[in-house]
Amino acid sequence: KLGAFKHDKASPVLVFLMVLNTVVMLVSNIIAAKTFPLFSINNLAVVLPSAVVIYPLAYVLSDLLSEVYGYKWSRLSAWTSFAMNLLMVGAFELAIIMPGETDLGVLKSTWFLLIASLLSYIVGGLVNDVVFKTMKRKAGSEAVAESKGVLGRAIWSSVVGQFCDSLIYIPLGMNIFPKLFLGFEFMSWPQVAICVLLQPTIKVIYEIIISPLTIKCCKVLRKYEVEAGNEYGL
């Protein structure tokens, strides 16, 4: 609903955060096909998608956008990211079928990883934003203005959102889709089961570790926008 933004203006910082969020989603989609081992359990390798090194940043950015700029900007950023992902995947597919000696077959997995990430992020990202938005409203405008409770909102929204995300993305992107379209799987079902629980845990730990930076960024960004005369709703 772009009409909701008709009379709004986007500050340079807001534009930068949205662009950064888009880049994070694009890079995540490209590198997600590669997995790396962590350890073994009874000769079963426990692996994670390489995207885990950068994808948690998308949830941190979502929290920043929701906390400082409001729910609708967070949602617009998410949908913009997927539109750009669709453009990237379309360009990859076109480049793959074009004549030439350079083999771009490694990029074939990006289109079904996009579908998996779209489905998972629609659910996980939506749940993350709804939980964050609900907790933010319950905190009240005075507490929000002083950035009180940011850590709790960020952590609890991410716990629920990340688990929903992994529950959809890992089975589809790491097993079902690659086996269906490429003839092999990136993860076996036992590996999928472990990863569904392990990946969100690692992502939430990641967010907890950088939470002091997240809180600081919220305070700095809110002060900047207020001094610049920019007002954004909850």
Q: What percentage of the chain carries pLDDT values higher than 70?
A: 93
Mean pLDDT, the chain, whole residue set: 85
Distance CA(41)–CA(136), nearest Å, equals 41
State the pLDDT at residue 66. Answer: 83
Alpha-carbon separation of residue 97 from 91, 101, 107 (angstroms): 10, 11, 11
Spatial contact of 90 and 2, defined as CB atoms under 8 Å apart: no
Task: Say whether pLDDT at 169 is over 80.
Answer: yes
Q: Which residue has the higher pLDDT, 10 or 143?
A: 10
Both tokens of 105, joined, read 């077959």
Q: Residue 48 pairs with which residues in a beta bridge? A: 36
State the pLDDT at residue 233. Answer: 62
pTM higher than 0.85, yes or no? no
Task: Say whether pLDDT at 234 is over 60.
Answer: no
Q: What percentage of the chain carries pLDDT values higher than 90?
A: 25
Task: Say whether pLDDT at 146 is over 60.
Answer: no
Alpha-carbon separation of residue 23 from 27, 113, 183, 194 (angstroms): 6, 16, 29, 28
| Chain segment 69-85, per-residue pLDDT in tens | 988 888 899 889 989 98
Most confident of 15-24, 121-130, 201-210: 15-24
Both tokens of 11, joined, read 């500050």
- Is residue 59 classed exposed, middle or buried when 0-12, 13-18 and 19+ CB atoms within 10 A define those classes? buried
State the pLDDT at residue 211. Answer: 83
The stretch 20-40 carries a mean pLDDT of 89
Q: pLDDT band at residue 18, thresholds of 50, 70 and 90?
A: very high
Q: pLDDT band at residue 13, thresholds of 50, 70 and 90?
A: very high
Both tokens of 178, joined, read 């690659």
Spatial contact of 66 and 18, defined as CB atoms under 8 Å apart: no
- Inter-axis angle of helices 12-31 and 110-139, to 10 degrees? 140
State the pLDDT at residue 147. Answer: 59
Question: Phi and psi at residue 86, in whole multiples of 5°?
Answer: -65, -40
Q: Which residue has the higher pLDDT, 139 or 24?
A: 24
How crowded is residue 145: how many other Cβ atoms within 10 Å of its Cβ? Answer: 11
Q: pLDDT band at residue 10, thresholds of 50, 70 and 90?
A: confident
Alpha-carbon separation of residue 153 from 82, 123, 141, 162 (angstroms): 25, 18, 14, 14
Q: Please tell me the least confidently modeled range out of 30-34, 101-105, 116-120, 207-211.
A: 101-105
Spatial contact of 118 and 32, defined as CB atoms under 8 Å apart: no
State the pLDDT at residue 141. Answer: 66
